[in-house]
Amino acid sequence: MGVSTNMVTYLVGPLHLSNARSANIVTNFMGTLNLLAFLGGFVADAKLGRYRTIAASATVATTGLALLAASTAVPGMRPPPCAPADGGGCAAASGRQMALLFLALYTIAVGAGGLKANVSGLGTDQFDGRDPREGRAEVFFFSRFYFLVSLGSLFAATVLVYVQDNVGRAWGYGISAVVMAAATAVFVAGTRRYRCRRPRGSPLTVIGRVLWAAWRNRKLPCPADASELRGFSRAKVPHTDRLRFLDKAAIVDADLTSAHPAVAAGPTLTEVEEVKMVVKLLPIWSTCILFWTVYSQMNTFTVEQASRMNRRVGGGGFVVPAGSMAVFLYLAILLFTSLNERLLVPLARRVTGRREGLASLQRVGAGLVLSTIAMVAAALVEKKRRDASGGAAISAFWLVPQLFLVGASEAFGYVGQLEFFIREAPERMKSMSTGLFLTTLSMGFYLSSALVAAVGAATGGAWVRDNLDDGRLDLFYWMLAGLGVFNFVGFLCFASRHEYKREAPAAPVTATAITRARAVELTNQPEEDAVMVAMAVNMIDV
């Protein structure tokens, strides 16, 4: 966040790039970062495991931050200052000057993508849902996790932005690199305390096998009784009636098996149901994209708006940095995540009877509504700013409502989406599912870039100009608000039809059963082969 929160002012200011290009550089960087989270989740699930992927990704991110600090410290990496007095104008940064900046940004993207896909998953690995005490604690994990993430964002929007604007960009990004290195050391120091699950092979391989087998058996009728499917007696996931065409992947056909012996080792019912879980995430996934398109405006055009407004505090000489206006967004997140644990969850629990209070999709819906209202507020404020004399007479604190609403929407939407994609995914695909969630952020930032380009082409640049006073940014915000309404209607249709994941019937939970299950998970062996390990762990517990 120390990079994205204030990067647009560096691109427009010292590097002399246009508003539209600067906004697209930031959104493309954030889009790629979150898209790479899908790759980070795949690597963790398939090969390295969450712990090793986090350690490697943190090291890469630290290297990228050091490169970014270096790129802003070297004078030759910036164009000369503007010289309008002698007719020289402002020369934009050259391709060579931008090269090191892009190298640094996308090195950060690789590292941060691996982190974002796995940190929350490793966190949930520390809770055993079969233990009542740990199960109750896990309810609040996502809110507490995001509360701490938002504390870091708050630090970025205040201390780091001030240092970047008033001390130097190299100092600001250098602090980020040092803090990231320290965080990596703290993470590694806790190694012996973590519960780490071993990777169970490539989840994409499982998905591919099931889809291919279902296509290969497409002409075979689905059996009326699910017990006829391959692996029914050993299924770890209960059979569901939705997406029945995928059941064909687990059909045991005698003629086909005799002709092709390899078919006998085809997908099991458990694998089929796991793929169903992933497919059922996609409709909700599609409706979360616009949510992050709205959020991306807070890192781009809202910062540019603030830079053209009165940011003086009281009658004194202190001027709030434009990037620091995001502090109201993070304060809203901190406020609502705090209220969620102490007020909203207990209150909703009484109404719904659910242990977690609001269901994950109810949180997502609340986030979508608040983000749409935020765009209405943003459009009204931008109209007021343009109507003021040169934009300087209006206070930048008029931006607080839209920032606060987006922060509140994120407190509901981010936590709800993260919880939904982790809890509704198969256990073996938890990191990849988190990466799938983070691709909604990626697609949201890319969609923002695409909309800016499309609106520029359709309006001849009339809506988004280098000088915001000459453009109609308020109409762009109204367009996002209208898209938000249609998107929410689609979300309601998908959410009303979604069936939450059901757990397979289990035997009464005892301490021995919990320990035995942990042994199976941590050794990644079939249950009958893990009995000796479970007995050893039981003896240690006793």
Q: Provide the residue range defining the domain that includes 133.
A: 7-80+90-198+273-497
HEC-encoded secondary structure of 247-305: HHHHCCCHHHHHHCHHHHHCCCHHHHHHHHHHHHHHHHHHHCHHHHHHHHHHHCHHHHH
Indicate the DSSP class of residue 317: S
240-278 as b/e: b if 16+ CB within 10 A: beeeeebbbbbbeeeeeeeeeeebeebbbbbbbbbbbbb
- Residue-wise pLDDT for 404-457, tens only, equals 999 999 888 888 888 888 888 777 777 777 778 878 888 888 898 888 888 888
What does the pLDDT read at residue 189? 92
Same domain, 478 and 520: no
Task: Using the Cα atoms of residue 234, residue 237, residue 243 and residue 249 in order, give the sign of their dihedral.
Answer: negative
| 95, 143: one domain | yes
Is there a single domain that holds both residue 493 and residue 511? no
Give domain status of residue 535, yes or no: yes
Q: 């993207």: which residue's tokens?
A: 109
Residue 216 lies in a domain: no
Q: 319: which 2 tokens?
A: 């001027």
Is 310 contained in some domain?
Answer: yes
Residue carrying the six token digits 């919880």: 419
- Condensed to tens digits (0 to 9), the pLDDT of residues 76-113 reads 777 777 765 554 567 777 788 888 889 999 999 999 98
Domain shared by 511 and 491, yes or no? no
DSSP 471-521: S-HHHHHHHHHHHHHHHHHHHHHHHHH--PPPPPP-PPP-HHHHHHHHHHH
Domains contained in the chain, number: 2
Q: Are residues 449 and 514 part of one domain? A: no
Does residue 428 share a domain with residue 513?
A: no
- The answer to the question of residue 435 being in a domain is yes
Are residue 514 and residue 406 in the same domain, yes or no? no
- Does 531 lie in the same domain as 483? no
pLDDT over 70 at 220, yes or no: yes
Q: How far apart are CA 14 and CA 30, in angstroms?
A: 21
Contact 10, 321 (CB under 8 A): no
**Rounded CA separation 518/131 (Å):** 11
Q: Which residues pair with 502 in a beta bridge?
A: none
Regarding whether 515 and 377 lie in a shared domain, the answer is no
pLDDT confidence of residue 351: 66
Both tokens of 471, joined, read 């453009």
Beta-bridge partners for 109: none
Helix spans in 288-399 (H): 289-296, 301-307, 327-339, 345-352, 360-387
309: three-class secondary structure by DSSP: coil
Residues 69 and 51 in one domain: yes
What is the CATH number for 156?
1.20.1250.20
Same-domain status, 470 and 537: no
In a domain, 218, yes or no: no
| Residue 220 forms part of a structural domain | no
How far apart (Å, rounded) are the C-alpha atoms in residues 424 and 314? 49
Q: Establish if 344 belongs to a structural domain.
A: yes
Indicate if the pLDDT at residue 539 is higher than 50: no
- Within a domain: 212: no
Judgement on whether residues 129 and 57 belong to the same structural domain of the protein: yes
CA distances, 419 to each of 42, 59, 146, 360, 447 (Å): 19, 27, 11, 6, 24
263 against 316, higher pLDDT: 316
Please tell me what DSSP assigns to residue 222. Answer: P
Task: Give the model confidence (pLDDT) of 144-173 as tens digits.
Answer: 887 888 888 888 888 888 888 888 888 989
